[in-house]
Amino acid sequence: MYTYVLQRMVRGLNPASFAMVMATGIVSVAMDVQGWGVPSAILLWIGVLAYVVLVLAYLVRFVRYPGAVAVDLRIPTRTFGFFTFVAATGVLGDRLLIDGHVGVAEVALGITALSWLILGYVLPATAFGARGDEAPLRRADGSWFVWVVATQAVAVLASSLQPKLPGLDSELALLAVSCWAIGVFLYVAVAVFVAARLLLARPAAADVSGAYWVAMGATAISVVAGSHVETMTAVPLTEIVGSTVAAGTFLLWAFGTWLVPALLVAGYWRHVVHRVPLRYEVSLWTIIFPLGMYGVASRTLGTAHDLSIVNGIGHAEIWLACIAWAATFCAMVWTQGRLLLQRSES
């Protein structure tokens, strides 16, 4: 009976399920930034365990249920969820690098960069080429910003590894700076699509999910990537782009900060005005990730440029991200446990 239930769960696995690993990994990084070593290590291994389980589940799904995967690829609101695998691998690799696991981080960078390169062409082409009753533009939502997050995840991990691999400092610098720049341009493009959808299609309250928080998370990871690029070992490329990256990093942080009140208002409009029930769903992790990433971005930027207010915002945001992670994790365990029990009894 339980085998059948697990098969159903694997078949219906959300493409964005790796968002849980993304959120856990970045909150672990945030805890390490705060100096909370033990809680940070606990979350790291929760993230690693979840990553392994999800990789195995996805492999089974690809092999046994290719039809379900094909359906996900044809739905623009689900297609970009596959980028969460790229981002999760990059975030975990960066966290493991903090603990000195350079070799593991190198492997993670290889997986992250290769999967980003492949999916970066396949998924958008699939989403825009999908046939349906309405144009893909009318299905653009916050989940599309995960494309940006995945791109910047490559930049973060490459720039973090660059000082530790002197023999590859120029190559890693080129990869980091290129992905940072590509991510910024992609952010602008995706923002245009999503804004056009909001203005033209006017989505219902039920459609304005936590995925829209990724718009802020994408700016935050761009800030972290830019800050890491600034601290890389000096090579000719960094001398050329140094001031541009520094300026762009602060502008992205400012814009991401400006987005927060708008996202809070959207949440109020959804859950209070239109009374959409607040229950556990995968998209909740796409709120936790931006909270944690914004905290890390603020701490990193504030420390690098001696901005005490920005640093203080980062401190507060990390506390909020930790509390939100704990609440969401408990809700996930409770919901999945009840679902597993109900399906086993039916």
85-99: per-residue pLDDT in tens? 999 999 999 999 999
Q: Where does the pLDDT of residue 142 fall: very low under 50, low under 70, confident under 90, or very high at 90 and above?
A: confident
163-210: per-residue pLDDT in tens? 999 989 999 999 999 999 999 999 999 999 888 887 777 777 777 777
Q: How many CA atoms lie within 13 A of 99 on its CB side?
A: 18
Q: Which amino acid is at 168?
A: L
Average pLDDT of the segment spanning 219-239: 93
251-285: per-residue pLDDT in tens? 999 999 999 999 999 888 888 888 888 888 888 99
Query: How many angstroms separate the CA atoms of 195 and 256, rounded?
Result: 15
* Cα–Cα distances in angstroms (integers) from residue 27 to residues 20, 42, 99, 146, 178, in the given order: 11, 11, 15, 17, 26
| Per-residue confidence (pLDDT) for residue 297, from 0 to 100 | 96
Query: How many angstroms separate the CA atoms of 40 and 36, rounded?
Result: 6
47-94: per-residue pLDDT in tens? 999 999 999 999 999 999 999 998 888 887 788 999 999 999 999 999
Domains of the chain: 2-345 (1.50.10.150)
**Is the confidence at residue 17, as pLDDT, over 70?**
yes
| Per-residue confidence (pLDDT) for residue 198, from 0 to 100 | 79
Q: How many CA atoms lie within 13 A of 24 on its CB side?
A: 26
Write down how long the chain is: 346
297-319: per-residue pLDDT in tens? 999 999 988 999 999 999 999 99
111-124: per-residue pLDDT in tens? 999 999 999 999 98
Query: How many angstroms separate the CA atoms of 343 and 346, rounded?
Result: 5
Q: In the chain, which ranges are continuous DSSP H helix?
A: 2-11, 19-34, 37-64, 66-74, 76-79, 83-98, 102-129, 146-161, 169-200, 214-230, 236-268, 285-304, 308-345
* The model's pTM: 0.92
* CA nearest neighbour of 106 among 22, 167, 34: 167
Tokens 């999910």: give the residue.
209
Average pLDDT of the segment spanning 33-44: 96
| Per-residue confidence (pLDDT) for residue 128, from 0 to 100 | 78
Query: How many angstroms separate the CA atoms of 7 and 314, rounded?
Result: 42
DSSP state of 269: I
